[in-house]
């Protein structure tokens, strides 16, 4: 299994690979722009070239781009919805330029609409963005913890979104372990893991599972409170992650960690822990 982290783009894309190697990454994820704002500049050609050159000198793969936080593809507000669709199209374009294979998106909040309306709105937004940007980038729906009016916290909901997309071959899933646990999927026990994987296979299929976000949970099973924690130190625990990283259905899926950090020390700690759980 290839492990990596979400890497900061502060100072430019040319610094990504240096940071990734320092953290011992074999796969990476990053934003293509400021994740907490709508405004963005066109990608700097020299920066992209520098990043591409540095990437080609390593065995780091695959590369994932993550959408910013502000877009809400389920929004009932027409203005925010259209802005979100446009943002998705722009990140599909940028992901291709940055040699990513996939773009990860948070499913969104339905607001005061029904679950069904929210799910349908997400599918429609993806259809619009795919039509506007018909490239080869695969879009990965990231499951949520189900906070407030969040949708996308059950496999059935994710299935319904994918079913509503015309070009389903471009769709995939990013399974966040903390979100799954917090939404009620018990990944801390062997029985719970097998039950979770069985449901995923029946509803979605492992061919759609393109990425794992390896995060422990600071909150209990079914809390619906999104709180990432260090590998093995939360409610999923080391045994839970040991079973996941060695499971034959998951061992070939890349894993990105989004664990808390103040310095590289925490990232290196989490990399050491998760790597130590892999059986040779």
pLDDT mean values, one per 10 residues, the chain (280 residues): 97 96 98 92 95 97 97 97 97 97 97 98 98 97 98 98 98 98 98 98 98 98 98 98 98 97 96 95
Distance of CA 246 to the CA centre of its chain: 20
* pLDDT of the residue at 153: 98
Closest of 211, 219, 200, 222 to residue 258, by C-alpha = 211
- Residue 30 pairs with which residues in a beta bridge? 65
* DSSP conformational letter for 8: -
Q: What is the DSSP string of 85-140?
A: HHHHHHHHHHHHHTT-SEEEEE--B-TTS-HHHHHHHHHHHHHHHHHH--SSPEEE
- Residue 138 pairs with which residues in a beta bridge? 102
- Given this structure, which CATH class describes domain 3-276? alpha beta
* pLDDT of the residue at 48: 96
Residue 86 structure tokens: 């446009």
Q: Which residues are catalytic?
A: 36, 66, 69, 106, 142, 176, 179, 213, 226, 228, 258
* pLDDT of the residue at 78: 97
> Rounded to whole angstroms, how far apart are CA atoms 105 and 88?
8
> Rounded to whole angstroms, how far apart are CA atoms 71 and 265?
31
Closest of 149, 148, 196 to residue 173, by C-alpha = 196
Domain residue extents for the chain: 3-276
* pLDDT of the residue at 39: 87
């Amino acid at each position: 299994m290839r492990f990596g982290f979400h890497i900061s783009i502060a100072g430019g894309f040319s610094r990504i690979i240096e940071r990734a190697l320092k953290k011992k990454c074999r796969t990476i994820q990053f934003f293509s722009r400021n994740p907490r704002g709508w405004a963005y500049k066109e990608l700097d050609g020299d920066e992209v070239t520098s990043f591409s050159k540095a990437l080609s000198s390593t065995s780091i793969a695959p590369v994932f781009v993550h959408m910013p936080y502000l877009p809400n593809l389920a929004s009932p507000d027409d203005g925010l919805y259209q802005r979100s669709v446009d943002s998705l199209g722009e990140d599909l374009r940028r992901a291709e330029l940055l040699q990513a294979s996939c773009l990860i998106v948070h499913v969104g909040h339905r607001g005061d609409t029904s679950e069904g309306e929210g799910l349908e709105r997400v599918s429609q937004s993806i259809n619009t963005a795919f039509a506007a940007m018909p490239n080869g980038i695969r879009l990965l729906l990231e499951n949520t913890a189900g906070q407030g009016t969040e949708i996308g916290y059950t496999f059935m909901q994710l299935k319904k979104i994918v079913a509503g997309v015309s070009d389903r071959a471009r769709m995939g899933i990013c399974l966040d372990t903390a979100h799954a646990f917090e939404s009620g999927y018990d990944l801390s026990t062997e029985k719970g893991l097998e039950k979770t994987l069985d449901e995923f296979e029946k509803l979605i299929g492992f061919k759609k599972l393109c990425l794992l976000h390896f995060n422990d949970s600071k909150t209990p099973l079914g809390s619906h409170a999104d709180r990432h924690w260090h590998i093995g130190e939360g409610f999923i625990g080391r045994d839970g992650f040991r079973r996941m990283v060695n499971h034959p259905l998951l061992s070939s899926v890349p894993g990105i960690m989004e664990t808390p950090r103040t310095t590289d020390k925490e990232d290196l700690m989490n990399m050491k822990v998760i790597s130590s759980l892999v059986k040779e």
